Amino acid sequence: MNLTRRKFLKLTGFTLINAGLFGIDTGCGFAPQISDGNFVKDWATLQIDDIPIEYNDKNYSRVLAIGDIHGNYTRFMSMYNKVEVTENDLVIFLGDYIQGDKVGEDLKTLQWLMPNNEKSNFIMLSGNMEREALKDCFNDDGTLKENLDKKWAFAEGLKVHNFPQFTKKVFDFMSNLKFYFRITIDGKKFIFCHAGIKDGVAMEDQNEFTLMFNKEFYKEYEGDKIVVIGHRPVQTVYGKDVNVPVKVPDRNILMLDTRCKRLHGYSSCVNILTGEFWQSDKDW
What are the pLDDT digits (tens) for 192-236? 999 999 999 999 999 999 999 999 999 999 999 999 999 999 999
* Residue 160, in any domain of the structure: yes
The count of structural domains within the chain is 1
Instruction: Assess if residue 145 is contained within a domain.
Output: yes
* pLDDT score at 51: 55
Query: How does pLDDT run across 121-160, given as a tens digit for each residue?
Result: 999 999 999 999 999 999 999 999 999 988 899 998 999 8
In a domain, 254, yes or no: yes
User: Which residue type does 175 have?
Assistant: S
Q: Which residue has the higher pLDDT, 15 or 166?
A: 166
How many Cα atoms occupy the beta-carbon half-sphere of 103 within 13 Å? 8
Rg (CA), the chain: 19
User: Would you tell me how many other CB atoms lie within 10 Å of the CB of residue 272?
Assistant: 26
Q: Do the Cβ atoms of 31 and 14 come closer than 8 Å?
A: yes
The residue range of the domain holding 244 is 51-279
**Position 36 in a domain:** no
Residue 134 lies in a domain: yes
> Is residue 100 very low, low, confident or very high in pLDDT (cuts 50, 70, 90)?
low
Distance between CA atoms of 103 and 189, rounded to whole angstroms? 38
Cα three-residue angle 215-219-223, rounded to 5 degrees: 110
* 86 found inside a domain: yes
Structure pTM? 0.83
**How big is the CA angle at 39 (ends 38 and 45), to the nearest 5 degrees?**
170
State how far Cα 247 lies from the chain centre: 13
What CATH number does residue 244 fall under? 3.60.21.10
